[in-house]
Structure 1
Amino acid sequence: MKKYILMSCFMLMFTTACNDDLLDTQPETSIPESIAFSTPEKILAQTNNLYKQLQNQSFYGGRFIVFNEQRADQFGQNDGNAATGSAVWNQNVASTNDFVNSVWSVGYTAINAANILISKMNETTVISEELAKNYIAEAKFIRAFCYFSLIQTYAKPYNQDKNALGLPLRLTPITTSGNNDLARSTVELVYNQILKDLDEAEIDLPVSYATPLLNASRAKKCTAIALKTRVLLVQNQFEKVISESEKIVSATLPFQYSEGNLVQKLEPNFAAIFGGSYTGTEAVFSIPFANSTTETPSAQYALAYNYLAQPIIFLAAEGIVSDPALNSATDARSSLIGTSAANQKVLKKFSITTAPFRDYVPVIRYSEIVLNYAEASANMDDLLMATELLKAVRNRSDPNYVFPEDEISTKEALIATIQKERDIELLGEGFRLMDLQRKVQTLPAKKGSIGTAPLVLPTSSNYIWPIPSGEIAVNKLIEPNP
């Protein structure tokens, strides 16, 4: 891991951005390790640095979401250039591919930075014990989030084979050379650690922060709970999805969560989610960008560039874009579908199409939580609750819409309708691949301007990404995917 964790870790560990607002970032300056955690301000800077790593353009600040959409079936590909991820769309990446290596590298660098912070906070006397616990909880949330992203990318789905090879579980900081070799834990053990981190984070995270921006961009109690609903849904642990959802979704309309100065609920105006302040009631966790070109992604990595400006990928005519909801004058979500100069349907959720690209990235929205809850309720035969939750999402965008009876009257039909609503509501936000793989479904064949990508069976080696060549080169105990 030396090249991918240790060297990057040294650079990140010794930086500071003395800010209490994630959008007000000072230029990074190298400082000795001995003083990196020497003051409350520097400790806060190291905590903020964890979020900046999620902001990396190869991770949630850019292309990782696009990769997930390219691998799924809702988008066609316009550009055959390798730099735009044509091999990702074609389901033909190799262990030496830059994207395969960079996602792993960025994810594990963030994990190591979280491990360092946890270690330092367990021994600090610079800040109060309560604040140290808060920072540890934030680091555990980041660590869990990164492991969840990586386990879905480089290992078999939990519901396909939970005993398959997962990831190396690195839970202690790497600050010197010679710590590269670590075998892969099973998929189940990695998921157990993810949920353990989130359970512990929930205990010590604050209910809220002082400003809407911080509430949207830093982990709080309901952020950890929300991510648990996603993880547990991927595992088909429907009863636990319901019990976690009940903590942050009221039992009746209007479905919402309210505590202290924090209110999380469906944003009344759907279009407002993707413009303006970006910090409304729907924003459970988002990746913000400062007014600085140093933090924003470069063109080929930016969501708006990929979906709209170029576009590198376009909405497949035979996909969810053909659904009546996205072609209806009465459904607000249809306003986020446009047509390019090439007469292709394109996604307009991310609309800042010139550099610097400052669209916030919605990582967890309240509508996802409501739909997670709905799907779990349907699977547990509570069709009434599942239907009410489903209607809440649809009627936010189309107040007068009534679901046909045959789409909600049986368990099987209702689950299918909830999945379709997820495809509509979360289009372009990186969920489609996760939904196909958690159900161990074939990745369908698809057409684009550069040709046709073949279907990928769950048993195929390219159903998941290979372990990166960089990791194999430095970790003697790592086993590649079969």
Structure 2
Amino acid sequence: MKYIKQIFIAVMMLGATSCSEFLEYQPSTEVSPDVAFESLDNAKATLVGAYDQLSSPYFDGLYVPIMNDVMGEDLMINSDNNWGWFVSVYQMEMLANYQWVTNPWAVGYKVIYDANMIIHNTPNIPKATESEKAELIAQAKALRAYCYLHLIQMYADSYHKAPEGDGVILRTIPAAAEDEDFGRASTQEVYDQIIEDLSYAVENMTESDYKGFLDQRGAQALLARTYLLTENWEKASEYAEQAYTGLSLMTVEEMWGGFMLFDNNPEAIFYLDYTRTDNNIYLSLPSFYWPEYGYSSIRADEVFLDKFDDADIRKGFFTFYEPIDADNYLVLKFGHNEALGNAHMIKIRASEMYLIKAEAEAELGNDEAAIEAVYEVMKRANGGAVKPTASGEELVNVILEERRRELFGEGFRWFDIKRRNQAFVREGQHWAKWNFGPEDNDYYRLTFPIPQGEIDSNTEINEENQNQGY
């Protein structure tokens, strides 16, 4: 990895851009494909560059996971001393030109552009074997699918609500500035492409000990997520089980260190290797949770804490510290790894896969299998946990509540509300309260607008193609 990163510095094809169209980056400073793909090592360096952008604070390094939680009901942004970070997101008062909307779109599509470059150019790499080419293409397709999975959930209605509705822009080949514009593909078309990419990845990748890249197990886990989102319960259960088989859940001791030091987390399937050497030190996920004055902005109140039994070790991730906040609890689930600005942020882990398995089996009416899967997560965190006896819709709700306790802060709550078409209710100490259901006009707030810059520059998208409510 160190050798590849050294090559990446020398062969950086992912440079600055002067193009204003988000999907048509053709950076004038980039190294040409002839150089970037003149060898397998150079092509791998290009892949490292794509992952480096994935960890950008404007995408999965900070914005996406933070927004996924503060767009829910469980966690909140502190009402003061927050420098304005994510305030309008938490208030659910978004406009199409806000940075919270435009930045994830731009960076997500830039990573997709780079993945497309790898997929398109890898077949012509000299001296690379067919299996080496196939694995590199598989890694790029898994990365492309990962980005599209975020974008389709953020910028389009849920699959449950409108599978044939407007999704996002689907590009599977590199686009130059002079190429034709694309409009919004349907949500179904986007999910079909995600499944196609991940299926190829599963077939052409192996499992790696290094979890900073997506591997075969990571692709299986992403397929489990995708099938959960598209309500294909059989496939969701199948791939979730494949993804967690052979992994152990964290012990109680490992749980306390598992969100800081990746070496102590046996259930990690994929994480972002976020380091201070190539990212802004304070624009990392731990900086917004850990008690650093001016950045520590994420809070929980007693309403959310009441969801945890006193015997639940996860309740220990919350602390009341009056000098920083006299009203609500700090969230200490994440910490810096050895030095401020270093963070190995876990994006996929085995516990989530058990919960996907549980939810899918409950929807299929296989109550016993669902209960066994969710109980694996419950009993690890709570020695006094009682195995559920519910069935049907009541069992599904038990599992969804366990998702809230297990996955808080990891970037799931917003998407879980949307995909299940649930009511949105904030209570307790939340200072931006909302109460609306799927049939209410305000439900549009759970979907981001298409960025205004895209509408202004893309001839195939106009104001009529904007999402409802914007």
**How high is the TM-score relative to the length of structure 2?**
0.87
Match of 1:331 in 2: 312
CA contact (8 A) 1:115 1:171 kept: yes
Q: In 2, distance between residues paired with 1:41 and 1:279?
A: 30
Stretches of structure 1 that go unaligned for 5 or more consecutive residues are 15-30, 250-255, 258-263
Q: In 2, distance between residues paired with 1:192 and 1:288?
A: 29
Which letter maps to 1:167?
V
1:455 and 2:441 matched: no
- Where 2:383 maps in the other structure, the secondary structure is coil
Q: In 2, distance between residues paired with 1:2 and 1:165?
A: 25
Q: In 2, distance between residues paired with 1:437 and 1:11?
A: 40
Which letter maps to 1:235?
T
1:425 and 2:406 matched: yes
1:358 and 2:362 matched: no
Q: In 2, distance between residues paired with 1:11 and 1:218?
A: 28
Which letter maps to 1:304?
P
Match of 2:107 in 1: 106
- Compare 340-349 and 223-232 and name the one that shifted more: 340-349
Deviations 1:235-289 (A, max 9, x none): 221111122234344xxxxxx32xxxxxx23122322321334463210010012
Please list, as runs of the form range in 1=range in 2, the aligned pairs for 1:10-21 lying within 5 A after superposition.
Answer: 10=27, 14=30
The equivalent position to 1:475 in structure 2, one of 424, 442, 458, is 458
1:53 and 2:76 matched: no
Cα–Cα, structure 1 residues 307 and 353, in superposed 2: closer, same or farther, change >3 Å? Answer: farther
Match of 2:5 in 1: none
Cα–Cα, structure 1 residues 107 and 399, in superposed 2: closer, same or farther, change >3 Å? Answer: same
Q: In 2, distance between residues paired with 1:305 and 1:431?
A: 19
Match of 2:330 in 1: 346
- Where 2:303 maps in the other structure, the secondary structure is coil
1:267 and 2:250 matched: yes
CA contact (8 A) 1:336 1:348 kept: yes
How far off is 1:463 after superposition? Answer: 2.5
1:288 and 2:273 matched: yes
How far off is 1:63 after superposition? Answer: 1.9
How far off is 1:8 after superposition? Answer: 5.3
The equivalent position to 2:362 in structure 1, one of 378, 387, 410, is 378
CA RMSD of aligned residues (A): 2.3
Match of 2:20 in 1: 3
- Where 1:230 maps in the other structure, the secondary structure is helix
Q: In 2, distance between residues paired with 1:107 and 1:92?
A: 22
Deviations 1:355-411 (A, max 9, x none): 7421211110100001100111111111111111111111112234224xxx52322
Match of 1:253 in 2: none
Which letter maps to 1:274?
F
Q: Which has the higher contact order (CA 8 A, sep 6+)?
A: 1
Q: In 2, distance between residues paired with 1:238 and 1:2?
A: 42
Q: In 1, distance between residues paired with 2:329 and 2:71?
A: 18
Q: In 2, distance between residues paired with 1:9 and 1:373?
A: 42
How far off is 1:179 after superposition? Answer: 2.5
Match of 1:391 in 2: 375
Cα–Cα, structure 1 residues 445 and 106, in superposed 2: closer, same or farther, change >3 Å? Answer: same
How far off is 1:123 after superposition? Answer: 2.1
CA contact (8 A) 1:78 1:448 kept: no
Match of 1:139 in 2: 140
- Compare 393-402 and 185-194 and name the one that shifted more: 393-402
Please list, as runs of the form range in 1=range in 2, the aligned pairs for 1:14-413 lying within 5 A after superposition.
Answer: 14=30, 31-79=31-79, 83-174=84-175, 176-179=176-179, 181-206=181-206, 208-209=207-208, 212=209, 214=210, 216-249=211-244, 256-257=245-246, 264-268=247-251, 269-278=254-263, 280-290=265-275, 293-299=276-282, 301-309=283-291, 310-319=295-304, 321-325=305-309, 328=310, 330-341=311-322, 342-343=325-326, 344-352=328-336, 356-403=340-387, 407-413=388-394
Match of 1:415 in 2: 396
Stretches of structure 2 that go unaligned for 5 or more consecutive residues are 1-17
Cα–Cα, structure 1 residues 56 and 6, in superposed 2: closer, same or farther, change >3 Å? Answer: same
CA contact (8 A) 1:77 1:448 kept: no
Cα–Cα, structure 1 residues 373 and 481, in superposed 2: closer, same or farther, change >3 Å? Answer: same
Q: In 1, distance between residues paired with 2:24 and 2:278?
A: 20
Q: In 2, distance between residues paired with 1:52 and 1:7?
A: 20
CA contact (8 A) 2:302 2:428 kept: no
CA contact (8 A) 1:141 1:201 kept: yes
CA contact (8 A) 1:225 1:244 kept: yes
Deviations 1:40-98 (A, max 9, x none): 32111011122112111111111211111111111222246674011111110100101
Deviations 1:203-247 (A, max 9, x none): 1011x23xx4x2x11111111111111111112211111222343
Cα–Cα, structure 1 residues 304 and 178, in superposed 2: closer, same or farther, change >3 Å? Answer: same
CA contact (8 A) 2:33 2:121 kept: no
- Compare 224-233 and 269-278 and name the one that shifted more: 269-278
Identity among equivalent pairs (%) = 25
Cα–Cα, structure 1 residues 237 and 7, in superposed 2: closer, same or farther, change >3 Å? Answer: closer
CA contact (8 A) 1:9 1:113 kept: no
How far off is 1:413 after superposition? Answer: 2.2
Cα–Cα, structure 1 residues 32 and 160, in superposed 2: closer, same or farther, change >3 Å? Answer: closer
Q: In 2, distance between residues paired with 1:66 and 1:200?
A: 30
Q: In 2, distance between residues paired with 1:364 and 1:388?
A: 21
Cα–Cα, structure 1 residues 233 and 130, in superposed 2: closer, same or farther, change >3 Å? Answer: same
**How high is the TM-score relative to the length of structure 1?**
0.85
Cα–Cα, structure 1 residues 203 and 194, in superposed 2: closer, same or farther, change >3 Å? Answer: same
- Where 1:425 maps in the other structure, the secondary structure is helix
